[in-house]
Structure 1
Amino acid sequence: MAKQLDLEEQEQLDELKHFWREYGNLITWALIAVFGAIAAWNGWQYWQNSQAAQASAMYDEIERAVQAGDTDRLERAFSDLKERFGRTTYAQQAGLLAATTLQAKGKADAAKATLAWVAEKSPDEGYQALARLRLAGVMLEAKAYDDALKQLAGNFPPEFAPLAADRRGDVLSLQGKKAEARAEYEKAYKAFDERSDYRRLIEVKLGALGVDAKQLAAPGTAAGAKS
């Protein structure tokens, strides 16, 4: 009986050796690939967390410069942040924050350059849209109307489209193009929720152009449903 068991064990061992000769290398490389992927993922996560922590610290420095009103320090800190961590959310937020302070301190060119960087380099379309809208506003104040319209041209994410239409209306109105301005304001008015405070602001602008905004068909009304 013992010899029979020994023979069975020997057969199983021989089968295992045969199996390993056939598939051992494949299994080994598969395990290396799996554990290598896990190690790479952990390394990537660590690197990402490290990058975020460093970018956060630099963003804090920018906030302190903003609070102090120190534009030289602000520009240096933002330059470092965008150079080292330009793809992070912190860099996009810092650009928008820095531009506000730079414009308030009379550094319109620096504010424009900062907003242009966010509009061009941000991987997030929301930050791109905000930067374009604010850049158009800076250009509007400088009476660079054609440049402002260039920033407002093209597509915007749906949630920003009414704001872009309103801003185009402002530019066109200042250019004396009343009919075109009215069309943009009407577009913005219809897109905003009827409870929005911003909608009431556009209503005032339309009123200045002789338009009774309350007569316009808004989304969800019977007139809008027929179309």
Structure 2
Amino acid sequence: MSVHLSEEEQLEAMKRWWKEYGKTIIISALVAIGAYFAWNAWQDQQRNKAETASATYEELLKVVSVEPGQTLGESQRSTAEHLAAELKAGDSTSLYAHNAAFFLAKIAVAQGDLDKAVTELRWVLSQKPDLATEQLANLRLARVLLAQQNYDEALSLVQTPPTTGFASEYAEVHGDVLKAKGDLDAARTAYEKALSSTTPQQQERFMVLQMKLDDLKQPTASIASPTATPEETAE
């Protein structure tokens, strides 16, 4: 007897195998094909969304770009707010959206609406952004809270400066809040830390910090309680 299957037996075995597994194979193939096209469609959608967001952000940058010393006109401000809102609604997790919220906060500060600025900066933080964006949002929020004389919350945001990135800026705002609270010795220490964290390229910043530190060397009676200006919150 032959040890090999005859053609008829091979055909019959194939039929039985196909009857048992054919449906599963077809379904698996259809699922794989569907997943492939769905993945491509999703990639196209994401690419289109990113391109749209990029174009909207470029338009926003053009609108908010003004000459030094100038402010946005009513029409410019309205357009900027509209574009920023589009970016936030399009993808709240994107850097475009977070930067749009920063612009909205800056516009609000220029208008004297500190509550609106706080809302925008808290929104950025609520989106769980990357570390650098989170640090910047905390820093700007602390400045606005200082301007609102909400010293304790402002202090909580900057009392532990990051080891990299905005270390000097955090220490400076920390000093500003401490000075506003009347803790001049602690403010002096914070300013010294801010000075030590500057780089050789930050000469202008070094001079500002040195002035703040020198101011604390004056008699206590001559030191006025500082109030953060809108311009400081926009740095």
Once residues 23 and 183 of structure 1 are traced to their aligned partners in structure 2, the CA distance between those partners, rounded to angstroms, is 76
For the Cα contact (< 8 Å) 2:194–2:209, is it kept in 1?
Answer: no
1:195–1:13 distance in 2 versus 1, CA, 3 Å: farther
Which runs of structure 2 are paired with 1:1-227 in the superposition (5 Å)? 8-67=6-65, 69=72, 70-152=76-158, 158-185=164-191, 188=194, 192=197, 195=200, 197=202, 200=206, 204=210
What whole-Å deviation, never above 9, does each CA across 1:187-223 have from its counterpart, x for those lacking one? 5566x4765638946973556657xxxxxxxxxxxxx
1:21–1:155 distance in 2 versus 1, CA, 3 Å: farther
TM-score by length of 2: 0.67
Gaps of 5+ in 2: 67-71, 218-235
Once residues 95 and 111 of structure 1 are traced to their aligned partners in structure 2, the CA distance between those partners, rounded to angstroms, is 9
Structure with greater helix percent = 1
Gaps of 5+ in 1: 211-227
Once residues 25 and 157 of structure 1 are traced to their aligned partners in structure 2, the CA distance between those partners, rounded to angstroms, is 60
Q: Match for 1:31: what amino acid?
A: A
For the Cα contact (< 8 Å) 1:169–1:181, is it kept in 2?
Answer: yes
Deviating 4+ runs (over 6 angstroms): none
1:84–1:194 distance in 2 versus 1, CA, 3 Å: closer
Once residues 186 and 13 of structure 1 are traced to their aligned partners in structure 2, the CA distance between those partners, rounded to angstroms, is 88
Q: Match for 1:197: what amino acid?
A: Q
Once residues 13 and 145 of structure 2 are traced to their aligned partners in structure 1, the CA distance between those partners, rounded to angstroms, is 79
For the Cα contact (< 8 Å) 1:95–1:114, is it kept in 2?
Answer: yes
| Structure of greater relative contact order (alpha carbons < 8 Å, 6+ residues apart) | 2
Shift in Å at residue 95 of structure 1?
A: 1.6
Shift in Å at residue 186 of structure 1?
A: 5.3
Residue identity over aligned pairs, in percent, reads 35
Shift in Å at residue 15 of structure 1?
A: 2.8
Once residues 124 and 152 of structure 1 are traced to their aligned partners in structure 2, the CA distance between those partners, rounded to angstroms, is 17
For the Cα contact (< 8 Å) 1:66–1:101, is it kept in 2?
Answer: no
Aligned residue pairs: how many? 204
Q: CA RMSD in A?
A: 3.4
